[in-house]
Structure formats: C-alpha cells, structure tokens
Amino acid sequence: MNNYEAIMKMSKEQLEIFLDNVYLTGLNTGMYTSTLNEDEKLDELENNPYSIDWLNEDAEKATRLVTDDEDNDYFLPNALTRAILRCAGIDIGILDGEILDEESE
C-alpha cells in the first residue's frame, strides 16, 4: 500500500490528524526558512515533502496507522519530523533510520 492509498482509507478522524500534521510541517518549515538567506529560502520552499513521489512511496506509519493502538499516540509523518528537527537546529542526517519511519515491515 502506498501513502495515497493509505490516505484514501483514513477515517474522518484520522484524516483530521493527518491534515493537522501536514499543516504543522508547513509551519515548521516556514519557521526554519525564516532563518535562511534568500537563496537558501527559495531552495527550501521549492521542496514539497508531500509530492506525487511521496504519494507513490510505501505507506509510512503516519498514513497507514495514524495512531498507535496501544498508547493512542499519533505517528508523525517523516516530513514533519524532519521539519521539527531542522527548526530545532538538529542535524537530521545523523538521525535517519533512528527516528524516522524508514524501517521495513
């Protein structure tokens, strides 16, 4: 199942959570880009983490499951996790695979 198919299977409640996370991705990206010079800003704002390529990728937990049944916590989309870490000044390169949902299941 890809991200698009997972989104199409979401309940209204799950979609609300997912759309909130998409909004937060943009908000954190905007806050991060405000610290960059104009050229860097334009490059960063050109990136669309929820592109057609992303829609066609294998579904991540944030689209496939949305919440953890045991704890009822939300799974954050990888794009939101990256945006939060960048905004906090954390080098995301050293964290790939540890925090992000990139393990195969």
Nearest in space to 83 (alpha carbons), one of 45, 31, 12, 28: 28
In a domain, 99, yes or no: no
In a domain, 87, yes or no: yes
In a domain, 104, yes or no: no
In a domain, 88, yes or no: yes
The pLDDT tens digits for 39-86 are 888 888 888 999 999 999 999 999 999 988 788 788 999 999 999 998
In a domain, 103, yes or no: no
In a domain, 77, yes or no: yes
| Model pLDDT, residue 72 | 78
Number of domains in the chain: 1
In a domain, 102, yes or no: no
Residue numbers of the domain that contains 27: 3-94
Nearest in space to 75 (alpha carbons), one of 1, 15, 18: 18
Q: Tokens in use for 14? A: 């799950």
In a domain, 44, yes or no: yes
Residue 98 has a CB neighbour count (10 Å cut-off) of 8
